[in-house]
Amino acid sequence: MATTALRPCLRTAATAATAATAAATARPSLLTSSTLTSHTLTTRRRLLSTTPLLSYRQQRVPDSDIPIPSVSGLTGVAGLTIPPYPFGPHAVYHQSNTGLYGTVRIRFGNKVSERNEIKTRRKWRPNVHHKRLWSASLGVFVRTRITTRTLRTIDKSGGLDEYLLGAKQARLRELGPWGWMLRWRIQQTPAIKARFAAEREKLGLPALLEQQDEIIVAAVELADGQVVQPVTEAGEPMSSGQLMEETSKMLAEEQEFDLGGAEEQKGDDFMREVKLRKP
């Protein structure tokens, strides 16, 4: 009874499957010549990087017209430019250019089975988080993408400002392009400027001048401590642009730079070669 009752159901299912296959075979193709001529096929362009460009929504810095830079740079402020990052953007793992990643990159290796020792390629991605870090000099929270290793380094350094103001070359490499822009921004605050001025005074250095011409003039000093300002043939003081043009001209003509008088060079034994006596 059960076998006889199931046979009509199986026949019905087989008939329905055959009819569906025949209908799909007889259905005309959608990509015919008339369709291609009447409609334009648009395909989405695949980007080389799967990570979109990140833009942080930063808070406004109180009592300041200079905003916190975005990932693409400083926009909307005339007359201010951020110096280029000396080490350039990272050639691999471009996502690290938009956050505080330190030296962490994607690591590659093998997953080895315990029984047959079969190796399967795998990767280890950095542990990245979105955080708000307090900046004492800016007085606001700074939004950034950061790794857990960099978070531990910031805690050991004493805060975000101390981490960004590190003077060693290894620290500058850890900052990356995004950390370099944050470093420049906190250096524009009055608190950091006063801190640098106190350090220069403690070391016995002259105060940092605001004008570029005065900085160039103060950098040209003689042994007696007097400041000599270069002048033109008419007797007028040279500007920074004229001084750079004169220096470039002398370098192109391979002229000698007079760094001291004849009397000073005569009695100077600093570069004199001394022969060592054999024992």
> Does residue 3 fall inside a structural domain?
no
pLDDT at 20: 56
Give the CATH number of the domain where residue 151 resides: 2.30.170.40
Same domain, 193 and 217: no
Same domain, 231 and 220: yes
pLDDT at 40: 42
Those residues whose C-beta lies under 8 Å from the C-beta of residue 253, and which sit 6 or more positions away, are none
Same domain, 94 and 133: yes
pLDDT at 236: 74
DSSP string, the chain: -HHHHHHHHHHHHHHHHHHHHHHHHHSPPSS-HHHHHHS----PPPPS-SSPPP---PPPPTT-S-PPPBTTB--S-TT--PPPPTT-S-SS-GGGGGSB-TT---EEEEEE-TTT--EEEEEE---EEEEEEEETTTTEEEEEEEEHHHHHHHHHHTSHHHHHT--SHHHHHHHHHHHHHHHHHHHTSHHHHHHHHHHHHHTTPPPPPSSHHHHHHHH-B-TTS-B---B-TTSPBP-HHHHHHHHHHHHHTTPPP--S-HHHHHT--TT---PPPP-
Contact 242, 236 (CB under 8 A): no
Residues (pLDDT < 50) of the chain are: 1-6, 9, 28-49, 211-214, 216-217, 221-224, 227, 263-265
Same domain, 243 and 227: yes
Same domain, 121 and 224: no
pLDDT at 47: 47
Same domain, 224 and 140: no
pLDDT at 158: 93
pLDDT at 101: 94
Same domain, 83 and 177: yes
> Does residue 157 fall inside a structural domain?
yes
pTM (2 d.p.):
0.57
> Does residue 140 fall inside a structural domain?
yes
Same domain, 118 and 225: no
Same domain, 61 and 191: yes
Residue range(s) defining the domain that contains residue 221: 209-251
Same domain, 170 and 226: no
pLDDT at 181: 93
pLDDT at 2: 46
pLDDT at 151: 95
pLDDT at 267: 53
Same domain, 172 and 190: yes
Q: How many domains does the structure of the chain reveal?
A: 2
Same domain, 138 and 218: no
